[in-house]
Chain A
Amino acid sequence: MSIKLTQSLFIGVCLVSSSWAFAAVKEYHLNIDEQMVNVTGKPLKRITVNGQFPAPLLEFEEGDDAIIHVHNKLKHKDSSIHWHGLLLPGLMDGVPGFNQFKGIKPQADFVYRFKVRQNGTYWYHAHSKGQEQDGLYGALVIYPKDKKPIAAHEQTDRDYVVMLSDFHPSSSEKILKNLKKSSEYYQNERETLADVFKQVQREGLKNTWQDRAMWNQMRMLKTDLSDVTGYTFLMNGKTPAQNWTGMFKPNEKVRLRFINASAMSFYDVRIPNLKMTVVSADGQPVQPVPVNEFRIGTAETYDVIVEPQDNHYQIQAESIDRSGFAIGSLQNQNQSRTRGIQMPKPRPRALLTMEDMGHGSASGDHADMNHDQMNASQESAGKMKYQAMDHSMMQHDSKVMGNMQHQQPPSSDHADLANHGAMMMDHRQMNHDQMNHSAHVAVKPFVESNKPVEGWANASTPAGYKALQYGDLKSLTPQSDTRPAERELEVRLGGTMERYIWTINGKKFTEVESLQVKYGERIRLKFINDSMMAHPMHLHGMFMQLENGQALSDLPNKHTLIVPPGKTVTALLTADELGEWAIHCHLLYHMSSGMMSKLVVANVDVNQATTTPSSSSPAKQGDSHAHH
């Protein structure tokens, strides 16, 4: 008996040690502290990690055993670190209040241990209050095993992280308080009376009134592209004046790992005169897409490969409210710099249109909204998409449109339809223009007309230039799960700008009931944006397969999905990770004012649901690792 026991123990030890021998242990020590940092010329107290602002780059190889010791040296403040986009046990995900993780108390430590089961570009950040804005964010790069490129086209000579972030002179706590005092606190590009007069001159009094009546009834601003302004945009922690520079030699291939580590900002990214080839989205490899520019939402990542030939290029990441740029350079290392930094000319800021408006007939205050109007704008939206989008994209959108119209209650207000006829035409025209631009059908450039740029999606991309669309993304490796969804989970995104309250399915996180999913279940997540702001929706712990019109096996994996204003975005999800997973808007102050929920993946075969991966889970992790 005892011999048997020792034998089995021995075998056990052998098994354990063998797994140790194969996997390298990669260990980091991170000290979270508060220090004065000087980014913009004025020393400010911010959060540092190992004395650095922003936090240092962490590097792993696929298959590593990650051990990360985090020491919270903040006084009186709990902290936490979340590994954004990583597949790991729930406790290691680092969200306080989820999976028994309680945050890291002041002067306490937490050791994160997990098996690295993937490769790609990710990042990490605090999940406690606004600490992410205050500096607790950094890049996390996982190379393929032995740094062997996963495909021939990914073979590069250089590899740089390009982390974009937004630095504010006020602390996150202050910013949120200000937004709660007045949601217009940071709105310094609102429309003035002069803009109204210009519109009257351009479109006539009647059309202007009809257009504005809608916005006024809903109490929304056309100019609300970003809730917070006053940011200095940073590239790898450097201001435009400090000009982060990546060196290259002619004929080299360079991989740029773009990470949007901002708290509140979206960017349009371009490198004038240099074609970029997108090879990875949210850390997951995609079939190469050559583009001139791309829009990157908060918390998204894109890897691009460039082959610079000139001596100098400027990397320009312009915030979508056009309040500034994050600027850096690519420089031929054999050539000395010839000129100083030139700030690029900002593109025109877009105004939100009817189409970008929420379709929220669910909420009481929207009940008086004219549904003819809404249908009209949707109709026109549908029409222009047929004309401008490639057909795979169209397929997807027409489905979405169908769903939307389905939700509209039948309208009884026929008189208004006639009234709004003129406006309907006008909008069809307008949306048509706008979408042509974003879909790159050659049309006249923007600047020549005095008409404002309209539509959230309108990046003012010059004619003939290709901007990345979600519909372009195709997974490099076929999806292993191509089952259809067993059911649909609706995630309605809403909010009241005036009160600065943001909700999921009409509820703040304080009032929310978690979304329940069976382990192994295949579901469709349907994000319906009823608000007039874009929300980058992030799911922890698992990748979503974005339904972008591609074939089921080609759907790209994403951890963060931009849901544009007034639009619906769907994704398939295989619930193959047990645990409690946060699902939230990655705009920091939206999350802080309620826009967060919990998706629970549990075994429900027994009467007691279990979410804590007990003994079975490590084995499972090992398995999935073996697959790679």
Chain B
Amino acid sequence: MRIINLFAMSTLSASLLLLSGQSVAQEQHHSMPKPQQSGQSTEVHKDHAKHHQMATKPQTVAEEKPQSLQQEQSSSDETDHAAHIKEHGGQVYQQTTVESKWLRNDDGEGVLKSELETRIGTDENKVFIKVHADQAESEQAEYDAKVLYSRMLSDFWDVQAGLRYLNNQNREVDQEQVGAIVGIHGLAPYFFETDAYLFVGQDQQMSFTLETERDLLLTQKLILKPYLDLNVIFSDDSNYAKKSGLNTAQLGLETRYEINKKVMPFVDVAYGYNKGNEETAWQPQSSSENEWLYGAGIHFKF
């Protein structure tokens, strides 16, 4: 029950965030005074001869102001020039996606997964912020936040580096962890949207994650998205160590309906593998398990 509430709440908060973003964006427009003329607008030039409402005064004695003086502005040439150049490829853009989905496994255990990803910057230099929150039923939420600097490497690829912060209140020690992360982000051949990261953290933690997905269109709005997420552990001496090797893998098929390009509800079916945990002072060993996961969620992009 609680998890459903959470799902509803996180969806609601995501929509609120979306709306607030919208209203902020529109404020700029509203700050202009309300225009006077509305309604009819088009004036068509049926005949050239009719078109002399504009002043066509003959022989105005031209005051020969030197033209270079007409544009005396306070701002310097350089800033003007730079500003203009920026209009042709130097602009700063942002993109934010918010996703919230609720997944259940075969045993009826549910987990609410929420993601926020925002990127801001120019074509070449961007900052990515990625926050994941996983909340299993009757447990506290686990957070995984990344701040990445992203540098364009080639037409389709960015190289990224930054920090990863993990927070898990279900643990008794090491609730917070910080590590370094490097990786690539881009579009692989065959339109596979791909993120691959190498994570290095305290206690010899070293792991590799790969996320890749691509769209297959049933219609322009109903879209299948097969995806693959992998997590490979190279070494882990932490108190909550995971078994090394391919630790988790999830192959899924998400089917979304694009109500528009901003709001996209989806259903998700996935098959997951989990190798399990090592035995440590703080946790028992767990053996590998496979499970089916199914659920639904909503995706916002703005």
Contacts and interface: CB of A to CB of B under 8 A. Distances in A.
B108 interface: no
Contacts, number: 207
Contacts of A36: 35, 37-39
A321 to B, nearest CB: 14
A594 interface: yes
Contact of B45 (A182, A236, A511): A236
B67 A91 contact: yes
B106 interface: no
Nearest to A178: B261
Contacts of B156: 219, 365, 496, 498-499
Contacts of A593: 88-89, 91, 123
Interface in B33-82: 33, 35-48, 51, 53-60, 62, 65, 67-68, 70-71, 73, 77, 80-81
A244 B62 CA distance: 38
A236 B44 contact: yes
A513 interface: no
Contact of A193 (B84, B86, B191, B217): B217
Contact of A96 (B44, B46, B80): B80
Contacts of B90: 508, 510
A75 B33 CA distance: 9
A27 B56 contact: yes
A35 interface: yes
A386 interface: no
B160 to A, nearest CB: 15
Given A181-B93, A185-B261, A509-B85, A39 B41 contact: yes
A20 B57 CA distance: 14
A15 to B, nearest CB: 14
A67 interface: yes
Interface string A22-57: 001111110000111111000101001011110011
Interface string B12-45: 0000000000000000010011011111111111
A180 interface: yes
Interface stretch (A101-109, A389-397, A457-465, A560-568): A101-109
B204 to A, nearest CB: 36
A105 B41 CA distance: 25
A141 B47 CA distance: 12
A364 B155 contact: yes
A59 B51 contact: yes
B157 to A, nearest CB: 8
A129 interface: yes
Interface in B78-129: 80-81, 84-91, 93, 95, 123
Given A159-B48, A219-B189, A596 B39 contact: no
B270 interface: no
Secondary structure at the B interface, as helix, strand, loop or mixed, is loop
A344 interface: no
A35 B35 contact: yes
A498 B36 contact: no
Contacts of B5: none
A624 interface: no
Contacts of A182: 261, 301
A45 B32 CA distance: 10
A499 B51 contact: no
Contacts of A185: 261
Contact of B155 (A37, A97, A365): A365
Interface string A351-379: 00000000000011100100000000000
A510 B44 CA distance: 39
B80 A102 contact: yes
A28 B35 contact: no
A84 to B, nearest CB: 17
A247 B33 CA distance: 40
- Residue of B62, B73, B155 with highest tally of chain A CB at under 10 A: B155
A620 interface: no
Given A96-B80, A499-B155, A67 B189 contact: no
Given A37-B41, A45-B29, A192-B220, A103 B84 contact: yes
Contact of A24 (B32, B48, B58): B58
A508 B88 contact: yes
A529 interface: no
A299 interface: no
A37 B217 CA distance: 37
B38 A139 contact: no
A38 B38 contact: yes
A110 B95 contact: no
Interface residues of B, number: 64
A194 B57 CA distance: 64
- Residue of A97, A216, A496 with highest tally of chain B CB at under 10 A: A97
A499 B122 CA distance: 11
Nearest to A191: B217
Contacts of B51: 56-57, 59
Contact of B60 (A27, A57, A105, A364): A27
A185 B260 CA distance: 9
Given A192-B218, A509-B88, A110 B45 contact: no
A102 B71 contact: yes
Contacts of A111: 65, 67, 70
Contact of A508 (B43, B48, B54, B123): B123
A188 B220 CA distance: 6
B260 to A, nearest CB: 10
Nearest to B193: A498
Given A38-B40, A496-B156, A591 B88 contact: yes
B55 A594 contact: no
A242 interface: yes
B219 interface: yes
A100 interface: yes
Interface string B215-239: 0111110001000000000000000
A110 B89 contact: no
A592 interface: yes
A176 to B, nearest CB: 8
B45 A363 contact: no
Contacts of B123: 499, 501, 508, 593-594
B46 A97 contact: no
A245 B46 CA distance: 8
Interface string B180-195: 0000000101110000
Interface string A121-132: 000000011000
B67 A113 contact: yes
A38 B190 CA distance: 43
Given A91-B67, A181-B95, A75 B32 contact: yes
Nearest to A500: B123
Contacts of B93: 177, 180-181
Nearest 8 A/B pairs, CB to CB: A594-B89, A508-B89, A97-B84, A509-B88, A37-B41, A36-B38, A237-B42, A510-B90
9 contacts: A25-B57, A36-B39, A56-B54, A160-B45, A364-B154, A584-B88, A594-B88, A594-B123, A596-B88
Interface of B: 29, 32-33, 35-48, 51, 53-60, 62, 65, 67-68, 70-71, 73, 77, 80-81, 84-91, 93, 95, 123, 152, 154-156, 187, 189-191, 216-220, 224, 261, 301-302
Interface of A: 20, 24-29, 34-39, 43, 45, 48, 50-53, 56-59, 67, 75, 91, 96-97, 100-103, 105, 108-111, 113, 128-129, 139, 141, 159-161, 176-178, 180-182, 185, 188-194, 216-219, 236-238, 242, 244-247, 363-365, 368, 496, 498-499, 501, 508-511, 584, 591-596
Given A27-B57, A27-B60, A97-B80, 6 more contacts: A26-B56, A39-B41, A219-B191, A236-B44, A237-B44, A510-B85
